[in-house]
Amino acid sequence: MPRSKRRGPSSTNHNHTPIDMSVSGAHEESLPRHPSKRLRHTSSARRYTKSDDVSNASMFSQKRCITWFREYTSPDDTDTLGPEGMEKFCEDIGVEPENVVMLVLAYRMNARQMGFFTLSEWLKGFSELQCDSISKIQQKLEYLRNQLNDPHTFKGIYRYAYDFARDKDQRSMDMDTARVMLQLLLGKHWPLFTQFAQFLDQSKYKVINKDQWCNILEFSRTINHDLSNYDLDGAWPVMLDEFVEWLKIQRDEGSSSTEARGS
């Protein structure tokens, strides 16, 4: 994901869900008075505690998850993980901040702003993933990447990315951010992405609105590489009509140049 600008204190989301920080004590039973029975009981209790510790370590713990979160926050705001903490978190789990898996993780958290996780967002995502440590999320990275292979889930991530990445003071996404996000999401899978990026570079468009954003995905999924099934009278945004027209001109000019060299 593209790196975000630092967010001021006024935009920090403080609507956090209540967190249960209580830790209940273990119920203690009195030991039998008979010495031999006491020894057997103590030995059994030790064996139980050992296996119980292993079991507890493998189970999700909200308390551990909160402690883990606060390794990445500043003393001034312990309920918000910001850009510096995000870089350290990414370094710890072995993922670049710009890696698409970070977008998938943000989607699972329903994070509101790129470059920031609130405590409530962190707990939502990691409680669903059952992760409360670096090693546990590392074991889930492949699962998160595979989420992109499901068409329905991918569509949800793609639509989420628009509001996640855009400047919250603007209704539309600036073109620089849009280019980076489109490259991240469609660059490897859409055969026409390179041409579309070239079209955007030479076009008059400075921003992309949400309707255009959503239709770019539908276009990439449904329109043939040769544009043979594109309907100019369809309900596509003008931007995509202009792209098709531009691409046809580019291809015609390319064919003419090839024929000229051949003659």
Q: What are the tens digits of pLDDT across the range 56-77? A: 568 999 999 999 999 999 999 9
pLDDT tens readout for residues 138-187? 999 999 999 999 999 999 999 999 999 999 899 999 999 999 999 999 99
The letter for the amino acid at 253 is: E
Q: What is the pLDDT of residue 45?
A: 40
Same structural domain for residues 143 and 155? no
**Helices 238-262 and 193-202 meet at what angle, rounded to 10?**
100
Query: Which domain-ending residue is among 131, 149, 167?
Result: 149
Q: What is the pLDDT of residue 258?
A: 56
Same structural domain for residues 130 and 169? no
Same structural domain for residues 78 and 166? no
**CATH label of the domain that carries residue 167:** 1.10.238.200
Same structural domain for residues 70 and 133? yes
- For residue 151, the Cα-to-chain-centroid distance in whole angstroms is 16
191 in any annotated domain: yes
Instruction: Write down the H helix ranges in 59-174.
Output: 62-69, 83-93, 100-109, 119-129, 134-146, 151-165
204 in any annotated domain: yes
30 in any annotated domain: no
**CATH label of the domain that carries residue 66:** 1.10.238.10
Q: What is the pLDDT of residue 4?
A: 54
Q: Has this prediction a pTM greater than 0.85?
A: no
In terms of residue numbers, what domain contains 185?
151-247
Average pLDDT along the chain, 263 residues, taken 10 residues at a time: 50 40 36 38 40 62 98 97 98 97 98 97 98 98 97 98 94 96 96 98 97 98 97 94 97 67 55
Report the alpha-carbon distance of residue 148 to residue 160 in Å, rounded. Answer: 13
Same structural domain for residues 243 and 196? yes
102 in any annotated domain: yes
Q: How many structural domains is the chain composed of?
A: 2
Same structural domain for residues 145 and 155? no
Same structural domain for residues 160 and 243? yes
